[in-house]
Amino acid sequence: MKSTEPVCQYELKAARDAMEVIQGKWRIPIVISLTYGTKRFGEIHRDIPDISPKMLSQELKALEENKLITRTLHDSMPVTVEYALTPLGMSLRELLDELRNWGKHFRGEIVGK
């Protein structure tokens, strides 16, 4: 097979955009954690124990800026802060499913052979 068809730059840009939003070690785990429901900071931290609190704050902020999650302050005693996925964050579901599926497939191929 010999084909030198150039790539479609628009398609490439869209995939890059997506990668930029979910990049790094932590954003995907945080979004997955929130697919299990609205959570407080400590609850997310319990799901992802190897992240530092500082990094978790920072990544939650980045996800909020990209409109994937909301941060809601409850004027309770004590004050609580809850994080939840927005509809845009929830729209990551199919992509997360594919990431999981492919991750399992990859592991099976690499480790299993």
User: Two tokens at 20?
Assistant: 């930029």
By C-beta, is 58 or 106 nearer to its own copies? 106
The DSSP bridge pattern shows strands 80-85 and 39-40 to be: antiparallel
Residue count of the chain: 113
45 binds its own copies (CB under 8 A): no
Cα 95 off chain centre by: 10
Radius of gyration of the chain (CA): 18
3 binds its own copies (CB under 8 A): yes
13 binds its own copies (CB under 8 A): yes
| Positions in the binding site for its own copies (CB under 8 A) | 1-7, 11-19, 21-23, 25, 28-29, 32-33, 36-39, 43, 46-48, 66-67, 84, 88, 91-92, 94-96, 98-107, 109-110
